[in-house]
Amino acid sequence: MPLQVSDYSWQQTKTAVFLSLPLKGVCVRDTDVFCTENYLKVNFPPFLFEAFLYAPIDDENSKAKVGNDTIVFTLYKKEAAMWESLSVTGVDKEMMQRIREKSILQAQERAKEATEAKAAAKREDQKYALSVMMKWLHKQAEARRAMNTDIPELCDLKEEEKNPEWLKDKGNKLFATENYLAAINAYNLAIRLNNKIPLLYLNRAACHLKLKNLHKAIEDSSKVWISLSYMYIH
């Protein structure tokens, strides 16, 4: 079980909340941040911080700054008002779960929209698309040279089955048949071959959500968030 962090401090104005969270000696590289308008989660094993926010924030324009073993969040309120507390009071476990699930679904939908927007932009810019494709092919070639030694479980697969895109499609088909554990295995292998494809984390998060693995779903959603250039807090 993660250790819940309680020794944080916060201040506010009518328009913003300033939250200071100690990292307790954990390297910032090992810290995952997940934020939506009503929910903030910071996971830095073995510690965990969750806030079921008192009122909605503008998560797109809110910011996080790291320094001196501390993360300082500047959370901009959607409505100018003083909060009675950082987190809403009287929240039971069932309501917490509903807020987590709603936040995950919101993040997935926004990540999907962002991914589709980027794909549309690439199609309009043929020169850029060609550059991206060449880099992708180079990475694929490197992955194929290394995978027989680095990933022994792929040795018995056919050549086309060693492609991350093929594994993603396989995982999607398994998800459609409600075989969520097998789908997770397919996405896991694809991520080991290429960890720069946001949809792999998005799809694996959907599997974890179906299996009620909420914290794993949040972790994968936060990886999508980070890979899309800090779209929620920057």
Position 218: which residue type? I
Strands 3-4 and 47-52: parallel
Nearest in space to 193 (alpha carbons), one of 160, 232, 146: 146
Q: Which pTM does this prediction carry?
A: 0.53
Rounded CA gap, 71 and 233, in Å? Answer: 12
Q: Give the mean model confidence (pLDDT) for residues 170-198.
A: 90
CA distance 173 to 151: 23
The sign of the CA dihedral 74, 77, 81, 85 is negative
Q: Is the pLDDT of residue 24 over 80?
A: yes
Which pLDDT band, with edges at 50, 70 and 90, does 40 fall under?
Answer: very high
Res. 61 pLDDT band, cuts 50 70 90: very high
Decide if 216 contacts 206 (C-beta within 8 A): no
Tokens of 61: 């324009």
Instruction: Kindly list the structural domains of the chain, giving each domain's residue range(s) and its CATH number in brackets, ordered by start.
Output: 3-76 (2.60.40.790), 93-227 (1.25.40.10)
The pLDDT, as a whole number, for residue 18 is 97
Q: Which residue has the higher pLDDT, 134 or 186?
A: 186
Q: Residue 85 — very low, low, confident or very high, per pLDDT cuts 50/70/90?
A: very high
Q: What are phi and psi of 70, to 5 degrees?
A: -140, 145
Tokens describing residue 38: 């009503």
CA angle centred on 37, ends 88 and 222, rounded to 5°: 110
Q: Hunting for tokens 């000696």 — which residue is that?
A: 25
State the average pLDDT over residues 32-42.
92
The pLDDT value given to residue 231:
40
Nearest to 188 by CA among 224, 160, 151, 214: 151
Kindly report the average pLDDT of the chain as a whole number: 84
Contact between residue 79 and residue 55 where contact means Cβ atoms under 8 Å apart: yes
3-state secondary structure of 72: strand
Mean pLDDT, residues 15-27 taken together: 91
